[in-house]
Amino acid sequence: MVRKERVRKKYDRWSRFYDAFDLGGVNDQKKLAVDLLELSQDSLVLDIGTGTGAIIPYLASKLGKNGKVIGIDFSEQMIERANVRIKKQGIGSKAEARVADATAMEYPDRHFDAALATFAFTSFPEPEKAIAEAARVLKPGARFSVLDTGKPPGKAGFRYRYLKAVMWRAGYTNISLDVPGLLRKSSFKIIKLHRFSGSFAYICLCEKT
């Protein structure tokens, strides 16, 4: 089985207990990633690799009746859960979750006003392709907020090397992927790189050029 299919099946299996892990929940890091988008009420926003769609209600809370958030994920089971959440919260008029591959989306060029990707690219089998696709569907000037994990600046310590090995084995996650570097190489200008102290997480806020 190709790696992409293995990863997709893994997330299908994990969807049942994904929200029990901190990564699947909504924390201050994810909220800050959304806040930095400075959405307007009528924004059309894309959440790439939405998982169970945990952040969708927070995104939707920033929008008015003409705004919309679309969460995409290639795991059918994740999307099923995201849609149950949307229904339960009664936000179906401004949110939807769809099964889609982030490397080949059905949306036209320059379609979205903003996008979010939380803990997505380091777990994607083809991150470069997904970043190029995000660039394609975003309007020029659109903000893209990426929350992910990476090598902390300075000397990478034992903790990081250990975590990297564990993460790779457990989830095919490449936590040392240089996502800001890939964004820069694609058509994004980095506005801000916010590192959380005592954490491997960072937010890379960029703008589509």
Name the residue whose CB lies closest to ligand SAM. 51
Query: Which residue in this structure is represented by tokens 């995104």?
Result: 59
Cβ pair 61, 30 in contact under 8 A: no
CB of 49 to ligand SAM, least distance (A): 3
Query: Which residue in this structure is represented by tokens 């992409």?
Result: 4
Closer to ligand SAM by CB, 165 or 189: give it: 165
CA dihedral (181, 182, 187, 192) in degrees, to 10, reads: -40
CB of 65 to ligand SAM, least distance (A): 25
Q: Is 131 exposed, middle or buried (0-12, 13-18, 19+ CB in 10 A)?
A: buried
CB of 28 to ligand SAM, least distance (A): 13
Closer to ligand SAM by CB, 65 or 166: give it: 166
Closer to ligand SAM by CB, 66 or 186: give it: 186
Closer to ligand SAM by CB, 119 or 200: give it: 119
Cβ pair 149, 122 in contact under 8 A: yes
Cβ pair 193, 202 in contact under 8 A: yes
Q: What is the binding site for ligand SAM (CB under 6 A)?
A: 7, 11, 23-24, 49-51, 54, 72-75, 78, 101-103, 118-120, 123-124, 130
CB of 186 to ligand SAM, least distance (A): 16
